[in-house]
Amino acid sequence: MRIAIAGAGDLAKYLVEELLAASHEVVVLSRSLKPWFERPDISFRPTDYSVPSLAAALEDCDGLVSALLDYTLGSVTSHLALLEACQKSPKCKRFMPSEYGGNVDLYPESPEFYYANHEPVREALRAQKDVMWTLFNMGWLADYFVSPGSRYIKDIGDFHPVDFEAGVITIPGTGEELISFTAARDTAAAIARLIDQDDWEATTFVCGETTTWNRVAKLLADHGRDMEVRYVSLESLRDTIKQGQLGDDDVTAAQYAEFSLTGGAILPRKN
């Protein structure tokens, strides 16, 4: 199949490699040229995210995987344009929007800042039948446990508990709460396997391992990462959220940490 990826970012690099490895043809949609994506084995297509420009770029594609990351409502605008472009296209009738979070079935509002810029896209997908879709989720990426030089995924600073630079891991809660983790490469490989299947469910969960932040800290220590371990309580996180404004970095960081404590980061398993 010819599969388009929207957004030439970090996760998109794994998607390019795994879609090619699964013998798909790969098209990358982007608002600007990016050196890593200048390669002969993919088709790089600039777009301004207007529906006509996207529809033209998707004309010969069979499926679309979004790897956009925009914390603002701009994410909704771009995703609704992607969906409309799929609807207008002759054959691009399978679409995975950018979700990549936790258990959206039970916790659609976790992490909290995800709701406003994801829910309208979920609603638009549910309200139509001509494009097949699934909300793909894999919990926290496990990539943050290795050095930045060994992964495409960039550091996200205080948005993640592990800070190699400061030598500190700041664990939300007691550290005994369960969290699901998956490697970005496994995520991309799973998408590459799923993309040509015809029986998508409304949500797809893929999970490497469900464990705890305390066990992550021990794993890092066992591999020579001697980090100071600190704990931050749910009450303290909620105070930060209450006192700040939605979209402030410290509020987003607190909402990411809260995600580890509300159950939203535990992916369901089929028995």
Ligand X SMILES: NC(=O)c1ccc[n+]([C@@H]2O[C@H](COP(=O)([O-])OP(=O)(O)OC[C@H]3O[C@@H](n4cnc5c(N)ncnc54)[C@H](OP(=O)(O)O)[C@@H]3O)[C@@H](O)[C@H]2O)c1
Nearer to ligand X, 147 or 271 (CB): 147
Among 21, 50, 52, 69, binds ligand X (CB under 6 A): 69
Residue 78 binds ligand X (CB under 6 A) = yes
Nearer to ligand X, 107 or 140 (CB): 140
Among 153, 162, 171, 192, binds ligand X (CB under 6 A): 153
Nearer to ligand X, 30 or 89 (CB): 30
DSSP secondary structure code for residue 31 in this structure: S
Q: Is 144 helix (H, G, I), strand (E, B) or coil?
A: helix
Find the binding residues for ligand X in span 82-121 (CB under 6 A). 98, 100-101
**Closest-CA residue to 4 (of 77, 54, 75):** 54
Nearer to ligand X, 82 or 217 (CB): 82
d(CA 233, CA 132): 41
Report, in Å, the least distance between residue 182 CB and ligand X. 8
Beginning with the edge strand found earlier in the chain, give each strand of the sheet holding 140-141 in spatial order: 140-141, 178-182, 209-212
Type of residue at 54: L
Residue 157 binds ligand X (CB under 6 A) = no
* From 64-72, 84-92, 246-254, 261-269, span contacting ligand X (CB under 6 A): 64-72
Q: Find the residue with minimal CB distance to ligand X.
A: 9
Binding residues with ligand X: total (CB under 6 A) = 24
Dig out the tokens for 138 from the structure: 């894999």
Report, in Å, the least distance between residue 74 CB and ligand X. 4
Distances (CA, A) of 48 to 79, 118, 131, 197, 265: 13, 21, 22, 30, 34
Q: Return the half-sphere exposure (C-beta side, CA atoms, 13 A cut-off) of residue 6.
A: 30
Report, in Å, the least distance between residue 84 CB and ligand X. 14
Report, in Å, the least distance between residue 60 CB and ligand X. 20
Among 11, 27, 171, 266, binds ligand X (CB under 6 A): 11
Distances (CA, A) of 270 to 52, 204, 206: 41, 11, 11
**Closest-CA residue to 95 (of 107, 84, 109, 110):** 84
**Phi, psi at 180, each rounded to 5°:** -100, 135
Nearer to ligand X, 31 or 230 (CB): 31
d(CA 230, CA 175): 10
Peptide bond before 111: cis, by omega within 30 degrees of 0?
Answer: yes
Among 3, 5, 8, 267, binds ligand X (CB under 6 A): 8
> Contact residues for ligand X (CB under 6 A)?
7-12, 30-32, 34, 49, 67-70, 74-75, 78, 98, 100-101, 140-141, 153
